[in-house]
Chain A
Amino acid sequence: MTSEQSSFSFNPSRLKRDPKSPRTLLGLIMTAIAGLFTLLAVIPLGFVLYYILIKGFSSINLQSFTQLPPPPMVENQGGFGNALLGTMIMVGIATLISVPIGVMTAIYLSEFSAGSKVAEWVRFATNVLSGVPSIIIGVFAYGILVINPIPWFYRGYSAWAGGFALALLMLPTIIRATEEALKLVPREVRWASVGVGANDYQTVLQVVLPAAIPAIVTGVTLGVARAAGETAPLLFTALNTQFWPNWDEWLFEPTASLSVLVYNFATVPFENQNEIAFAAALVLVLFVLITNIVARVVTSRETY
């Protein structure tokens, strides 16, 4: 043993950090690297946003929203009106399907399943479902709604099949957001409601759910933003079209969407179509940016 270790005399200078010791230097270097990595992650975000915003703004105008996609090599005309409408239709269908199912599932998980094993499994299934690649969800929708043996369902490429696929993709997001929102409502509120004689459903529907609504709406909006940008499951469920919906059967015919339009027009060698792709990309990016920022602001305000 060295004399240093055996002596108990207090030496304050030994507690000071030596600025030149390898341990301090290593720490500094690691800190610098970690900081650099953080910067490195924000850079591509900046590049992607900057490029899409600049290119998008230079090719967007009023007719972008009202006209049909142009054929190749035609200059100065055309837009993505039908794709914008198609995206709204399909995301609308998806929201109509997934919100009731998602909210009810979350109500079951947070209100009626205290400590049960079944709830654990449902939660597990929700997480696994959110990890299923979107293209597989598309394959599933294709398998039951596009080439389908079930006789009473419409079969073929359709807005309905696309909306169904998007609904499955939104479900986990909505379930999780709603469950989190319901959990934030204090238990005392439920006790108070039951204490004045309310039934379980009254407590849930008239007291707990309204209190959680802002957070649920935020979650749903983020789900909508995600669904609006989803492309893979629409490639072979809604397919695509160059035309406006035919209002007699708009649910049951191939339907254009912004994301598929971006994919198609980004991968062709025609400059006018590339420009429409950037204009459509701008709409998607702005939608994602605005919803995320608004969601951030809303959730930072607590309801209870």
Chain B
Amino acid sequence: MSFTQDNSSDSIQPRSLKERRFDQTFKGLARFFAFLIAAILLAIALLVTIRAWPAIAEYHLGFLFKSTWKPNDPPDFGVLPAIYGTIVSSMLALAISVPIGLGIAIFLSEDYLPTKVQRILVFLVELLAAIPSVLYGLWGIFVLIPFLKEITPLRGPAMLPAALILAIMTLPIIAALSRDALSNVPLELRQASVGLGATRWETIFFIILPAASSGIIGGIMLALGRALGETMAATMLIGNNNTEIDFSIFEPSNTIASLLANQFAEASGLQVSALMYAGLILFILTLCVNILAELLVKRLQKI
């Protein structure tokens, strides 16, 4: 025992208490901030629920099935049109962006193109996701809606332009995550399939897509979560019709996010609670979708 101590040179000394303390503090701080992230998520859920409570107590679950939005004399609120618009616009958007996004993912994960061209295209598709949504809204108002007016019965902001922009905005998520999933499929599977005489597309359809399916579905769910919560483009293009459901895609509709964007700044009293209640519904909706997506994508990483 004493041998090691005697033999140790001056440069190797036990760490001073101060140093050890500092080390512990640093680690503790890192852990604290990590826990803070989880705490923020809980705080969001808690705060929105508390703020929404007056409206929850007043309207209960009937809030979800009522089509009125009257801030004054006497106030009466229901979010059925917004729920309808949120779900339908997202579904329409996905109906467009899923096949296109998958096509892109396949085209850019197979070796159709030289790597350089492929990389540029991947970058361009990713750039679609980086453009702020308010700019898509701006473009939609001045270019897309006038264009659609020429070729459809559209008269102004409505479900159709909003869904189209949502499709553009969800496209890069689906393309990027599907591409990840596809390129994660082991090469041996493809070699085996081609070795048995399958063509490239038979291999893609029957081997690669099924093997990557959990990642692809996870990507689609994440895109759905994004579409459900997307605010600015929807607000600027959907027409913000709070009080009735119109089943035509050429008529104004509304989403929960647009409702919040439009009304919060001028809301007071019970209206704030009603908006918080609507926000809570959107939060729960996107939370479920996102958690499911996370679990699916995680399963993929275990392959």
Contact = CB atoms under 8 A, between A and B. Distances in A.
Contact of B31 (A108, A200, A226, A263): A108
Given A125-B37, A127-B294, A267-B236, A199 B23 contact: yes
B130 A41 contact: no
Contact of B283 (A37, A124, A136, A292): A136
B51 interface: yes
Contacts of B41: 125, 128-129, 132
Given A35-B112, A45-B128, A139-B279, A201 B22 contact: yes
Given A31-B112, A135-B261, A200-B26, A41 B36 contact: no
A303 B138 CA distance: 40
A231 B138 CA distance: 12
Contacts of A138: 260, 264
Interface string B116-155: 0000010111111011111111110111000000000000
A171 interface: yes
A24 B30 contact: no
Nearest to B35: A122
B272 interface: yes
Contacts of A225: 130
B108 interface: yes
B143 A51 contact: yes
Given A44-B128, A147-B272, A200-B23, A266 B138 contact: yes
Contacts of A127: 290, 294
Interface in B27-81: 27, 29-38, 40-41, 43-44, 47-48, 51
Interface stretch (B183-191, B197-205, B244-252): B197-205
A199 B15 contact: yes
Interface residues of A, number: 94
B231 interface: yes
Contacts of B196: none
Nearest to B128: A45
B86 to A, nearest CB: 10
Contacts, number: 266
Interface SS, B side? helix
Interface in A265-289: 266-267, 274, 277-278, 281, 284-285, 288-289
B210 interface: no
Interface in A121-150: 121-122, 124-129, 131-140, 142-144, 147
Contacts of A191: none
The size class of the interface chain B forms with chain A is 35 or more
A109 B34 contact: yes
Given A23-B199, A232-B261, A175 B130 contact: no
Nearest to A274: B142
Contacts of B125: 38, 41-42, 45
A266 B233 CA distance: 12
A143 B139 contact: no
A263 B132 CA distance: 11
12 contacts: A30-B201, A34-B104, A37-B103, A45-B127, A105-B34, A127-B290, A127-B294, A128-B290, A131-B225, A133-B229, A136-B48, A263-B235
Interface of B: 11-12, 15, 19-20, 22-23, 26-27, 29-38, 40-41, 43-44, 47-48, 51, 99-101, 103-104, 106-108, 112, 121, 123-128, 130-139, 141-143, 168, 171-172, 175, 199-202, 204, 222, 225-226, 228-232, 235-236, 257, 260-261, 264-265, 272, 275-276, 279, 282-283, 286-287, 289-291, 293-294
